Amino acid sequence: MAEEGQAAGEAPDLRGMNRAELEAFARGEGQPAYRGRQLLRWIQGRAVADFDAMTDLPAAWRASLKSRLPLAPAEVVRRQVDPEDGTVKLLLRLRDGELVETVRMRYRYGYSACISTQVGCNVGCRFCASTLGGKRRDLTAGEMAEQALAVQRELLPHGERLSRLVLMGMGEPLENYAETLRFLRLAHEPEGMAISYRRMTLSTSGLAPAIERLAEEGLPVTLAVSLHAPNDELRRRLVPMDNRYPLARLMEAARTYAARTGRRLTFEYVMIDRVNDEPEQARELATLLRGLPGHVNLIPLNESGRGLRSSPPGRIEAFRQVLERSGVEVTVRRSLGRRIDAACGQLRRREAEAPERSPAPLPG
């Protein structure tokens, strides 16, 4: 069967298939439908990437599948561990040789994986390393699942499992809408990874119409809006998506999302020294967000060689206090994995030995 995101003539990617699709696949193979569910349990539930290990399937079918279908795990090209906070960053090589990175983070109540949705990104945010070479291609749902499963394979032997997903790796998830949605539904499969929608966060640079579409899907995932500026004049320079969907339009979509899903919103705000971290800008931000259910997450800039500096702790704290006094709920993100560049396309970039560009001045 031809799956979305899969070129014609290619072997089907079982890793990207949900229960109904695997059941149909099994029937197409002359097997009873429940064999499809068994596949789902092995592939998604137990993160098994070897047909030989699927011992409750008929041996002859297993051997036949093995000879025809690729299921090998993505090669882990590099694995880096932050010794202080236990963050693990995996650089994975996909079947066509492209590299994607996935980060595993430990929380008080379990583990979270940060998933990439594209190889590179076309949005062009001023501070982001993922966008430097543009978008190379979209990832399929199966490739997003493989990232989560690569993390799962390291956890399951220790009796742990993934309980959260954040789509905050490389790429703009809403520019790859169909495959991203397929992946979220797949990760939710009760006999698969069984991750609750409420423990999934989709982060976007602000495609207003896609946010409204997402609001109608009936998946109560947390929406994180990458704001980074309190007005269009500055936001246009930092997040070029603002030219397509200015703040008034974006806030309208965010409001609709919150109303339709009942979910509180997250507003991400990367703190860039002397660019967006003045107390006056905090007041402007508070005005912009008045009446919206949610909180602001202040993120120290990960300095990615793009000529911008992170706000120092004192300026972040001052900004936080202005927001708080204006009645805005605000948190400061822990900088997980800072020592291993666990953010934003940096490991892939180093591996690909992209030439260092000299830092350009802020446009505009």
Contact 77, 351 (CB under 8 A): yes
Return the closest-CA partner of residue 146 out of 224, 191, 90, 79: 90
User: Which of ligand SAH, ligand SF4, none sits in contact with 268, Cβ below 5 to 8 A by type?
Assistant: ligand SAH
Residues 329-358 that bind ligand SAH (CB under 6 A): 343-344
Count H helices, E strands: the chain?
12, 12
* Structural Rg of the chain based on CA atoms: 21
The CB-of-108 to ligand SF4 minimum distance in angstroms stands at 27
Residue 364 CB burial class (10 angstroms; 0-12, 13-18, ≥19): exposed
Number of residues that bind ligand SAH (CB under 6 A): 17
Catalytic, 233? Answer no
Q: State yes or no: residue 172 binds ligand SF4 (CB under 6 A).
A: yes
The CB-of-295 to ligand SF4 minimum distance in angstroms stands at 19
Amino acid at 173: P
Q: Which of 101, 146, 172, 179 is catalytic?
A: 101
The two beta strands, 110-114 and 99-107, are: antiparallel
Catalytic, 101? Answer yes
3-state secondary structure of 266: strand
Contact 12, 1 (CB under 8 A): yes
Give the x/- contact pattern for ligand SF4 in 123-142, rule: CB under 6 A. xxx--x-xx-----------
Tell me whether residue 172 or residue 341 sits nearer to ligand SF4 (CB atom): 172
Give the x/- contact pattern for ligand SF4 in 302-341, rule: CB under 6 A. ----------------------------------------
Q: Which of 57, 91, 103, 128 binds ligand SAH (CB under 6 A)?
A: 128
Return the closest-CA partner of residue 114 out of 126, 95, 130: 130
Spatial separation of the C-alpha atoms in residues 311 and 297, rounded to whole Å: 14
Judged by the rule CB under 6 A, the positions of this chain that interact with ligand SAH are 125, 127-128, 168, 172, 203-205, 226, 268, 270, 299, 301-302, 304, 343-344
Judged by the rule CB under 6 A, the positions of this chain that interact with ligand SF4 are 121, 123-125, 128, 130-131, 170-172, 205
Query: What positions carry a catalytic annotation?
Result: 101, 344
